[in-house]
Structure 1
Amino acid sequence: MSYESYGGDKGPFRMEDLVKVQDGSVVSRTVIDRPEGTVTAFAFDGGQALSEHSAPYDALVQMIQGAMEIKVGGVPHSVKAGEWLMMPADVPHSVEAMEPSIMVLTMVRG
C-alpha cells in the first residue's frame, strides 16, 4: 500500500479512521508493507481474539483505543489505550479484546 493510497498525502491522520470496529469481527488494514517490516491497524470487537501463534520477527503493539489481554510466552498483560507492548520474535502470543479495541502492530523484519 502506498502513502497516497491511504490519504497520507493530505497530512496527519488517525488510525481509528483507517480501520473500524465491526460487530463480531476482527478487521485489519495494512498501512506500510516493506521488506524491512510492516505496520498494520487492527480493530477487534469486544470478546474477539487471535489464538496463540508466533512470528519470526520482533513486534510492537500500540493500543489506540479500548483494552486487550495479550499473552506473551503464557504471561498475560492488560494493555490499554495509550500503552505499548513488545513481543519478541518466536515467542508464542495471543490477543483477546476485553472491549471494542483498535491496535497498531509494527513488525520489524530487518
Structure 2
Amino acid sequence: MQKISFTENLEFNDKKIVTQVLLETSFSKEIRILLKKGQLMKEHKAPFPIIVHIVKGSIDFGVEGTVHVLEQGDIITLAANIPHDLLAKSDSIIRLTLSKLDAAERVEKVVADS
C-alpha cells in the first residue's frame, strides 16, 4: 500500500510548469502537474490512453481543435494518439494517470517544449 497527497508540498513556478511522479504502481504512473494561471502545455499526443483529473483550479483542455472547460473535480479520459493541449484558467493542480508502459520523461519533454 502507498499513500500520497496531490495537495501537499505544492511548489508552483511562475516561469515553468511543474511535474512530479507521485506514485507508480504495477499498472500506472500518477503524475501531478502544477500550472499557474496562463501557463500552456502545447499540443501533444500520448502513445497510450490517459486520464486527466482536475484536483483544483480550471483549465481549457483542447482536443483536436475543440476546447473543453474542465473545472475542479472533473475527470476525463483520452484515447491514445489524440492531439490535445492544456491552458490554465487559474492556478491548477492536475492529476495525470499514465499507462505503466508510458514514460514520465515524455511528459517532462512536453513541458520543456511548451
Class of the TM-score when normalised by the shorter of the 2 chains: 0.7 to 0.9
Question: TM-score, normalising length from structure 2?
Answer: 0.77
The structure richer in strand per residue is 1
1:88-107 → structure 2 map (5 Å cutoff) = 88-107=79-98
Asked if residue 84 in structure 1 is aligned to residue 75 in structure 2, the reply is yes
| SS of corresponding position for 1:96 | strand
Q: CA deviation at 1:18?
A: 4.3
Q: Give the whole-Å Cα distance in 2 for the aligned partners of 1:103 and 1:58.
A: 16
The more displaced of 15-24 and 88-97 is 15-24
Which residue in the other structure is 1:21 paired with?
12
Question: TM-score, normalising length from structure 1?
Answer: 0.80
Structure 1 residues 78 and 89, CA gap change in structure 2 (3 angstroms): same
Which residue in the other structure is 1:71 paired with?
62
- Rg comparison, structure with higher value: 1
| SS of corresponding position for 2:8 | helix
Which residue in the other structure is 1:37 paired with?
28
Q: CA deviation at 1:35?
A: 6.4
Unaligned runs of 5+ in 2: 102-114
Q: How many residues align?
A: 100
